[in-house]
Structure 1
Amino acid sequence: MLEIKNLHVYYGGIHALHGISLRVPDGKIVTLLGANGAGKSSTLRTIAGLVKANEGSITFDGQNLLGLKSFEVLRRGIALVPEGRRVFVNLTVRENLILGAYTRNDKTEIRRSTEEIFAVFPRLEERINQPAGTLSGGEQQMLALGRALMSQPKLLMIDEPSLGLAPVLSQGVLKKLKEINQNKGQTILLIEQNARAAMSIADYAYILETGKIVLEGEAEVLSKDDQVRKSYLGVH
């Protein structure tokens, strides 16, 4: 389980996170919601070791993560799919997936993991020898997710998976995330611009405003709250 307590993060003179606290239980999907600049990406990047925390604590399975480098966080079992996918465009689908397993040495198991990724995302197997830069946006998002899963993470963190995708493609990606959670027991921490879609697959939700958590609760309950529906789900 991931647990954050009283986390403060500054970018220069900007106070990005104001003492947030949250939990991601094993086997659950937790979503962070809020407007641009609310602190969602800063939270994920701090967990991943890409941004330094100024105060507070982050523990995962009882072990402290603060001060670890990003590759050390990955070795602890936390993988980040960054906003914008960031696949290696000049490498093939196969090469991108293999790079996702760079912390592993078990070649037989790596091959098995690749087959599991293809079972979840059959389109990737069809494109296995294509450069990632020739894939569509939806296919690149599948590849970014597959690459992260190749590290066999205990916790998969995903930043805006549907960004730039057509609605039908974004729905397909989120549906796949729910399937991975249900079939594999994969724990997921999700940032998603489509709050309604995120709430539909999440177990629990936190709502951030200007670096503070202003509301939290079971996603199904929050999605029926009138204020949440008006402010975040576009329902009037």
Structure 2
Amino acid sequence: MLKRFSTQVLIGCLLLCAVPFAAAADAAAAANAPAGGDAPVWLVLGDSISAAYGIPQSRGWVALLQQRLRDRGYNARVVNASVSGETTAGGLARLPALLARHRPKVVLIELGGNDGLRALPIARLRDNLTQLVGLSRQAGARAAVFEMLLPSNYGPDYVAQFTASFGLVAKAQRATLVPFLLAPIAADPSAFQDDGIHPTAAVQDRLLDTVWPALEPLAR
């Protein structure tokens, strides 16, 4: 099914409506953080897939994660610091301030797709991911690295090295590896908005179901 995942969908999900200013990310984090309390914070550092592009943020998979954690009896407060078009370098620039502000117990790193689409050297991608995990751990947080995929037209060698990077970094850094969010809907055109690019609100629960088995242990 993933082999049918189109270049248009991947590029659109990750690149559309990039926000160039870190202040926008801070505003997004503040807007999405549930009010008050001493609950452990889960910080989501992602791109447009996690930023709920084109749908109400309250219906995105990150908001559904907050609800599921509560429904399952886990004490957690999810802060969504995702920005459409974000790269690992952008996330790395923003992360120290986010760590200082929110003091998370868990950091979910859903970044890297835009780096691949820009053909960022693999060594730099892995270094950025390693630093993202390292900074999170230094701040006392458990880190999770989300897998990313690229269209085959980027060349078999680059695609293979890119795809392997997330697992290699997660293993080396003893971080949780989370499966690709769009895996369950990649071959279903009806799962995407009218732009043919971004997942609809109706399938966000399927995205959460894909990653939940990897995320739930972080709450225990």
TM-score class, shorter: 0.3 to 0.5
Q: Normalising to structure 2: TM-score of the pair?
A: 0.36
**Highest CA radius of gyration, 1 or 2?**
1
TM-score by length of 1: 0.35
Greater share of residues in strand: 1
